[in-house]
Amino acid sequence: MSATPENDFVFTPLGGVGEIGMNLALYGYGPPKSRKWIMVDCGLGFPGLDLPGVDVVFPDISFVEKIGRDLLAIFITHAHEDHIGALSTLWPKLKCKVYATPFARGLLEVRKLQEPGAPNIKLLPAHAGAVIEAGPFSVEYVAVAHSIPEACSLAIRTPLGLAIHTGDWKIDAEPGVSTHIDEARFRALGDEGVTALICDSTNILREGASFSEGDVARTLKTLIAEAPGRVLVTTFASNVSRLRALAEAAQACGRSVVVAGRAMDRVIQVARECGYLDGLPGFHGVDMLQALPRDRTLVIVTGSQGEQRAAMARAAAKDHPLLKLGSGDRVIFSSRAIPGNERSIHRVINNLCNLGVEVITDHDHLVHCSGHPRRGDVAQMYQWTRPKIAVPVHGEAHHLSQHEIFARAHGAEYVAPARDGSIVRLAPGAPEIIGVAPTGLLYRDGDVVIDEADGAVRDRAKLSFVGVVSIALAVNRNGDMAGDPDVVFAGVPKRGKFGQDMAEVIDEALFSTVEGLPRGRRRDADTLSTAVERAVRGAVFSVWGKKPLVHVMVVTI
């Protein structure tokens, strides 16, 4: 397909550009009114404290749904949840081909088997070095190192130029079971001519080169060998290199490995199927703990982010039926705190200290390294690929703005300051934001998925600050109350600022409002409920200083 003046090549992120996580990006080629598209990744994010009760968040894909059959395929860069976690939920709205490496496909298949009603996604094979044709796009998988097996960048070719979508990556001389970054291939792409580099910004604020998984493995081996009692390590379940390093360290000092956590069980199953744990003995379940000597046991658990129901937090709170910790035991957090989780992690660490447990984190020893590139790594990438255009992604606003400065200093002729929803024309000509796609969040709330327009989460957040007053009353044909009204309130103090009984304050406002309305207006349920709602809210505010949510139900009999 040859380029014509009416065709353009565009990049449109719907998640992951302005926040870390929830990665989903689109590339389009063709006439503006009839472009063909591919999607890169389909990830979830995790809610903050402002979204109480929400389990995970997904990007709004209403823009993609309008594309319809012009969406040719989805290409998965790697198997982290912030890159594949939304796929099973959102794919039924898209129903296109999905390309992924064996490890990513394995995790998606395991999830499908364990989730009733999960869709039968059309998963097609990909691997480092593969070149896949999709309409006007030619997509090449290029190996990179990361904190999960089989991570790849994508070299996306069109008649108007070549874009490199780095995905998550780093440079690591000893990446464990992960692959080395394919420096030679990136250099060759640079020689071919790179129109745009769409590059990870997660660690752009950190100077120097990335630490290596090999260095972390050696540190962990020493700490496990020197521990006098039981050793418990919590880490990201998907870091198979770390899991293998821990198992090898345990084997070297005669410890049995026990695994606690369903997410880790799934990863271990797929890792064994893919050969990444070959040569290691099987791991024990947590039910075997009582039969194993404390000083000959290594327990690997989920819960590195302080998740309340994970094995780590339950053990720290003495709430786990089988996993008991105490003086002489050593707990290693082989992980970093995801922003927003610090308070939960500190609570777990404090609980462990109160048990007399020795706690080791990355502040004490090199027990964790990131899977993302520091400034030294990013400089190497710019040197190898020499892009005309830099598009910083995978970061919050501070990361992106600093990456923009960095890219200019490292030879990029243009920098496109994209954010979620930006429709960035990469070619022809100089890059330009030519439009904005609708963006937003979808919430998984229990077993349903709702959008931001649904008021449930917003009301729930408000309830957490001001409480609720519920009133039910009946009015007869004459406009008189039939019986006593039913009043219930929750999340509201029992007494006001001068000791007023809150129930009496509510009752006084309720009865005086009803009695003060003409009979004709009392017989109008909407009028009566609105009047009572306003009066009760105002009365509570006068003695509390906050306005609760007030729900009034009027029944006319």
3-state secondary structure of 527: helix
pLDDT at 2: 46
The yes-or-no verdict on residue 4 having pLDDT over 70 is no
Closest C-alpha to 99, from 87, 90, 110, 114: 87
**Using CA of residue 67, residue 71, residue 77, residue 81, what is the dihedral sign?**
positive
The yes-or-no verdict on residue 1 having pLDDT over 70 is no
Q: Which residue has the higher pLDDT, 460 or 116?
A: 460
Q: Which residues contact 191 (CB under 8 A, 6 or more apart)?
A: none
CA dist 395 → 19, 403, 419 (Å): 5, 9, 10
Q: What is the mean pLDDT of the chain?
A: 94
Tell me what percent of the residues of the chain surpass a pLDDT of 90.
86
Q: Looking at 28-42, 49-63, 290-304, 363-377, which range is the least confident one?
A: 49-63
What's the whole-model pTM score? 0.91
Give how far the C-alpha of residue 265 lies from the chain's centroid of Cα atoms, to the nearest Å. 20
Q: Looking at 9-18, 72-81, 211-220, 472-481, which range is the least confident one?
A: 472-481
- Domains belonging to the chain, first-starting first, are 8-208+370-451 (3.60.15.10), 213-360 (3.40.50.10710), 467-556 (3.10.20.580)
The yes-or-no verdict on residue 109 having pLDDT over 60 is yes
Question: Alpha-carbon dihedral of residues 89, 90, 95, 97, nearest 10 degrees?
Answer: -90
The span from the CA of 177 to the CA of 441, in Å, is 35
**231 token code pair:** 């050793």
Please write the tens of the pLDDT for every residue from 443-467.
888 888 888 888 888 888 888 889 9
Please write the tens of the pLDDT for every residue from 513-538.
999 999 889 889 999 999 999 999 99
pLDDT at 78: 98
Residue type, 278: D
